[in-house]
Amino acid sequence: MTSIGKPKLHHPALQANKIGFTRRDYEGKVSTLCAGCGHDSISAALIQAFWELDIEPHRVAKLSGIGCSSKTPDYFLGNSHGFNSVHGRMPSVLTGANLANRGLIYLGVSGDGDSASIGLGQFAHVMRRRVNMAYILENNGVYGLTKGQFSATADSGSRSRRGLTNTDAAVDTVSLALLMGATFVARGFSGDKAQLVPLIKAAIAHPGAAFIDVVSPCVAFNNHPGSTKSYDYVRQHNDAVNRLDVWPAREPIAVDYAEGATIEVPQFDGSVLRLRKLDAHYDATDKTSAMAHITHAAEKGEVVTGLLYLAPDASDLHAHLDTVETPLNALGDADLCPGAAMLDKINAALR
């Protein structure tokens, strides 16, 4: 992971958000990924999402595992602390970080090798533990850093660049996240920024375990005929169940209601998630039908994108552990140490 800094010159005409930051303030180092990599598009979407949400970059902790995707946190939010941990074990590190300071925004970035192979266990458990985070899985169905082996999300029957056919069944991470108890489950496509940015914004605002599987074609090793994670394939088979708008609550909500029924879901940070249904039968708050919809679409070879499931009454790990509001890392000696007098009492009971 090379570190190439970007020049810090800002164009005077760059638009600032409400807290005075321009998009450039949300950038990181220059990406060293291949030109055209879907992951870079996701980084761009993240930059835009955080900028639009008016979040101070340093209030974000970005954690990743190992792999092409896990390199990306170096390429956005340069003023945030980042943590490139070990392969597949980002979820536990993020959990610990979140326990230490509930006051920050936690962004987990992972890949399909990272999350669906070695990290499948931690992926499952971080969802059921409902850690408050936005977990972005940059899914290209291939191992890029080791030059083109299948990952566990590669569809059965899909072909590698070297012409091998995958005979294993694919791990469907959105189904798994749903099953394990994630309270926000979505799928996006790196090539559809218009859909992805609101999804990311909604995930960040969500007060629990928010997961977005982002299909992100690998231009070097998995963007060829026969791949089900290529740009062409996904564009041809994309079936979006909905489009989202996220409106910060401090703004008057003014949206166009013309395109059918909407539901409004207030989020943790005070924003309101406005969900516009494109499919009259799709209800993103119904877990059972979400699962059925994903399964049926997969059988037809379709890649379902959009917000697939949202639990309106979501809560997070800190709520379940009933921890104090003050971040645990800010508690001092006086908060933590019961003192010598108490120890005397404990000693007395041990005789």
Q: Which residues bind other proteins (CB under 8 A)?
A: 1-3, 56-59, 61, 63, 73-74, 78-86, 89, 91-101, 103-104, 121-122, 125, 129, 318, 321-325, 328-329, 331, 333, 335-340, 342-344, 346-347, 350-351
Contact between 1 and 32 under an 8 Å Cβ cutoff? The reply is yes
Instruction: State the alpha helices, DSSP H only, in 56-172.
Output: 68-71, 90-100, 112-113, 120-129
For other proteins, give the closer residue by CB, 66 or 203.
Answer: 66
Nearer to other proteins, 36 or 103 (CB): 103
CA dist., res. 317 & res. 65, Å (int): 21
Residue closer to other proteins (CB basis): 98 or 242: 98
Axis crossing angle, helix 90-100 with helix 120-129, rounded to the nearest 10 = 30
Q: Hey, which residues does 110 pair with through a beta bridge?
A: 137
Q: Which is closer to other proteins, CB of 4 or CB of 249?
A: 4
261/342 with CB nearer other proteins = 342
Instruction: Please tell me whether residue 174 adopts helix, strand or coil conformation.
Output: helix
DSSP 118: I
DSSP code, position 34:
P
Full DSSP string of 45-69: HHHHHHHHTT--GGGEEEEE-SSHH
Instruction: Tell me the Cα Rg of the chain.
Output: 21
Q: How far is the CB of 103 from other proteins (least distance, A)?
A: 7
